[in-house]
Amino acid sequence: MPTEESPPARFHITSEPIDAEAVRRAVAGPACGAVVVFHGTVRNRTGDRVVEHLEYEAYEPMALQQMERIADAMAAEHGIEALACTHRIGAVPIGEDAMVVAVASPHRAAALAATGGFITRLKQDVPIWKKEHFEGGAVWIGTPENPQGEGSTP
């Protein structure tokens, strides 16, 4: 449980729907003129496949540690004030958030760049795996080199 001396954890993995406002609050502050909140939402199609839902698994201790490291790298590279991320595991229905990232900085350019950089690195470096359930089957998506599985078919 956080105390007044220790800030709340900025990184979470949950099987419950994500409270995007809580992710935003974790980074917002008086020094920040920009707060970017990105929602990674489950869509109903991938290429010509009709998606029924996504399923995520994670190696949680390492995933949280890697998120922290990537956030530190984004702070060093872009000069942001704070970054927070919550990622879902388990089955995630169409239209719900699989991930919410919030980045705060004094200026928008840094917040936008850090958001994109964090998401790219998360998909490459964080041990969270995605399985796509579609009409007629399911398949694990991506590799570290191709996290979205672009060009792959079941």
Ordered domains of the chain (ranges, CATH): 11-137 (3.90.1170.40)
**Residue whose pair of structure tokens reads 């917002």 in the numeric block:** 28
Q: Which candidate, 154, 138, 127, 116, places its Cα nearest to that of 52?
A: 138
Q: What is the arithmetic mean of pLDDT over 65-93?
A: 97
Q: Given this model, what pLDDT does residue 2 score?
A: 42
**Residue whose pair of structure tokens reads 């590279």 in the numeric block:** 77
Q: Which candidate, 140, 71, 129, places its Cα nearest to that of 102?
A: 71
How many C-beta atoms lie closer than 10 Å to residue 55's C-beta?
17
The single-letter DSSP state of residue 33 is S
Rg (CA), the chain: 16
Q: What is the arithmetic mean of pLDDT over 82-87?
A: 97
Residue 150 has pLDDT above 70, yes or no: no
Q: Which candidate, 131, 36, 43, places its Cα nearest to that of 85?
A: 36
Q: What is the arithmetic mean of pLDDT over 71-93?
A: 97
Q: Given this model, what pLDDT does residue 149 score?
A: 62
Tokens found for residue 6 = 């220790």
